[in-house]
Every structure is written in C-alpha cells, then in structure tokens.
Amino acid sequence: MVIGTRNKLRSASPLVGDRVLHRDLYPMELELVVPEASHSRRKLERLLHPQYKETGSTGNLYDRETTIEMMLAERPGGVVVRDFQAQLMAPDTALVTYRSIGGGGQEARRTSIWMRTDKGWQLRFHQGTRIPNHWGNIS
C-alpha cells in the first residue's frame, strides 16, 4: 500500500491552524479512502455523519448505510493521495479537497465536507470525480 501527499496542508483560516486541521482531518480522510483501513463498521459509523451523503465518481448517489456496506466489501489496494488541502468554512465545518490515484492508475478529484459534532469530526458529504486519462486533461 502506498500512501502519500505531495503538498502540505494549506488553510487560510485564522480560527484553526494548519497543523490542527491536518492533524484532525488528514488521518480520518485516509481511513475512509484506503480500504484496508476502514474494515470496521464501528469505525465507519463513528466517521460518517448520520445524515452522510455521497456522489460517487460514476454520478451515483449513496447514503450512509450503503456507503458503509460498500466500504466493508472493498478489497485492499494501494491508494496515493496528493494535493491534500483543508479549509475551515465555518467554526465547525471544513472543506477538504485532494486527488487520489488508485492501484490501476485511475485518478479522481475528491471533495469532502467535515462537520465537528459532539462525537468529533464527522464526514457529512463526499464527492469523487474521475479525471480522464487523455491528452488535454487539465490537472
């Protein structure tokens, strides 16, 4: 398994420093994007907000329970995370963006909205958009 990041976290927020957002959100995002790290229903239920929604890279919509079932069934595989950035949008809401590269070389742009709740940070929304593998692609 390969996990890495090209750029350090950058945040323009004066309320939560770069190190705090990175310390809190980067490891939790990795737990969700790397299949072998997410094979615990209990952990997934803690990380995903009860009203979690996802728009997958295929355009399909998923709710929390469907996402948990799919993640529990995923096979391990290497994922590289690049260009990870986090920005505080409100005191208890953060926007995370990054690129992922799967074992087959498929790249996707990913966007997550995290909310700080009484249970800590929880993922409220996620979207993945495939990046076409052809000339003229703007990265």
**Whole-number Å distance between alpha carbons of 14 and 83:** 21
Domain 18-131 -> CATH class: alpha beta
Tokens of 3: 């996990």
For 20-80, give the DSSP string.
Answer: HHHHHHHHHHHHHHSGGG---HHHHHHHEEEEEEEE-TTS-EEEHHHHHHHHHHPPP--EE
Domain map of the chain by residue range?
18-131
Q: Which residue has the higher pLDDT, 81 or 37?
A: 81
Q: Which residue has the higher pLDDT, 28 or 14?
A: 28
Mean pLDDT of the chain: 81
pTM: 0.80
User: In this predicted model, what pLDDT tens digit does every residue of 57-113 receive, in sequence order?
Assistant: 888 999 999 999 998 888 777 788 899 999 999 989 999 999 998 878 889 999 999
